[in-house]
Amino acid sequence: MFGIIVIVLLALTFAGYLKVERFADRKLNIVKEKIFTLPAGTGRVVLQDMLYQQKLIKSPTLFGWLLRVEPELGEFKAGTYRFPEGMTVRQMLELLKSGKEAQFNIRFVEGFRLQDWMQELQKAGYLKHDLTGKTDDEIATALGMKDAKNAEGWLYPDTYAYTAGTSDLSLLKRSHQRMEKTVDQIWKDRDTSLPYKTPTDMLTMASIIEKETAIKDERKEVASVFINRLRIGMRLQTDPTVIYGMGDSYKGTISKKDLETATPYNTYVIDGLPPSPIAMPSEASIEAAAHPAKTDFLYFVADGKGGHTFTTNLDSHNKAVRAYRDLMKNKNEK
């Protein structure tokens, strides 16, 4: 009789074990990807309740037994994780044990201003916002910038990955350090005959190039126009600097009055370069500023086909302007 009881108990135990193992290989109740945050200090019972309350598992009892049968699966770490569709209970616990938190991405676009980047940071999910409400001066100080009161131009455009709880300041520090390193390397290798006194001058030129053209093959020609103008004492007269100086008053168009209104950035009024960059330039634009093409160009205007027409004198430039206007007029009439 005792032997029969033992056999029955063993059979029941084995059946229970198989049930627990089948549960472990069962898929989580996920229709699409799930972002799951496990707070610090969460124990097995609390995790069990969280998963059940969020309807990720159907049996908290079997979950509890799984952690008893395989206690090594209970060594989970706090963090924010990505649960893909089709993930099993066992795979979920192995992920929580690994500590491989979900990665989120934010893209900082070249040609955008610091103000635009701050707006992107505000919209980013799972990010800690330490810079909300900070002035440009305060942001520069937080980044450790000693010689500038504005981080404009000094942040490297790229896509940055981060985990939940990362601060916006931490992301900008990574971007700033990368830009500092890039500028330092390019400055050392620049054409030393260029009329730059500091790396900031070169970066400022790069930001103007970035705003003037998105065509890679044109950047060095655009750079040559502005360098040639600087060398002969001719004003840069570039619209993006006017727009930057207008700040929030810019509504999409520039009037004659705007061109004549003095601001520290209006290159129709001031001589030389503006006092600081006007956008975040790409590395390609910095390279163009450091190694402009050797030309006699002093002017350029859009050609209506996505590029620009470069000319050496005002008469040729005016002809190019008329050609552009005629082309635009014909397009609008069609």
Angle formed at CA 193 by CA 189 and CA 199, multiple of 5 degrees: 55
Q: Residue 288 carries which DSSP code? A: H
Full pLDDT tens readout for the chain, 334 residues: 555 554 544 444 444 556 778 888 899 998 889 999 999 989 889 999 999 999 999 888 888 888 888 888 888 999 999 999 999 999 999 999 999 999 999 999 999 999 999 999 999 999 999 999 999 999 999 999 987 788 999 999 999 999 999 999 999 999 999 999 999 999 999 999 999 999 999 999 999 999 999 898 999 999 999 999 999 999 999 999 999 999 989 988 999 999 999 999 999 999 999 999 999 999 999 999 999 999 999 999 988 888 899 999 999 998 988 888 878 777 666 5
Count of CB atoms within 10 A of residue 238's CB? 23
144, 120 in Cβ contact below 8 A? no
DSSP β-bridge partners for residue 36: 81
Q: What top-level class would CATH report for the domain 2-98? A: alpha beta
Alpha-carbon gap, residue 63 to 72, rounded angstroms: 13
Per-domain residue ranges for the chain? 2-98, 104-183, 193-333
Phi, psi dihedral angles at 154 (to 5 degrees): -100, 25
Closest by CA position to 83, among listed 127, 30, 39 = 30
Q: Give the contacts of 24 (CB within 8 A, at least 6 positions apart).
A: 66, 70, 88, 89, 90
Handedness of CA 245, 247, 251, 257 (dihedral sign): negative
